[in-house]
Amino acid sequence: MTRKKEFSRADGYSETDLLVASRDHLLSALLLFEEGSLYGLDSAGYLSHLSLELLLKATLLFLEDKFPECHDLEQLLRRLQAAGLKLNIPVAQDDVVKRLRAFYGLRYPDPTTPVSISQPDAPLIRDTWDSLWAQLPEALRARMPELYEVGRDGRLRKGGRAIMIREKKPRDST
């Protein structure tokens, strides 16, 4: 079985869905960082990586009508620059990108390549995301919805799915 190396709109992907997922993963990561629990930091790191990865892939989809099956943030940035996007990434933010690249490894415990993460990473990650966002083409940034669309049924529509929160019912005490 051969794996697909690139994805496109023909595969059902859209810039808007990727941008929304990027933003939501970033906000979820920041909540985990803010919570201050040691149990959530690995997830915060991985979600931070995923957030930036999806932001870059949305941009590639916008510029090239496709994006690669690749998780390497530096490689994605190089491809964006090869596609003509001029990015100004200060040294401090380049260091954050390199750290985020390592956070991809937080998906699975690997004692041979340990990755450290801490709460002070959060503002640096947010600043890097915001800086890259500000440098994206305006026509792409305009595709990010301000608010989610909630249908008459009360369900949130996101990425072709319906998301809802059900009220918890009290447990029967008998």
DSSP letter string, 118-147: -TTHHHHHHHHHHHHHHHS-HHHHTTS-SS
**In contact, 79 and 68? CB cutoff 8 Å:** yes
- Residue 110 confidence class, pLDDT cut points 50, 70, 90: confident
Name which of 121, 117, 139, 144 is nearest 55 in CA terms: 144
Q: What fold characterizes domain 6-145?
A: Four Helix Bundle (Hemerythrin (Met), subunit A) (1.20.120)
Highest mean pLDDT of the ranges 42-46, 59-63, 104-108: 59-63
Q: Is the pTM of this model over 0.95?
A: no
- What angle, 0 to 180 degrees and rounded to 10, lies between the N-to-C axes of helices 41-64 and 15-35? 160
How does pLDDT run across 85-94, given as a tens digit for each residue? 999 999 989 9
How does pLDDT run across 28-52, given as a tens digit for each residue? 999 999 998 888 999 999 999 999 9
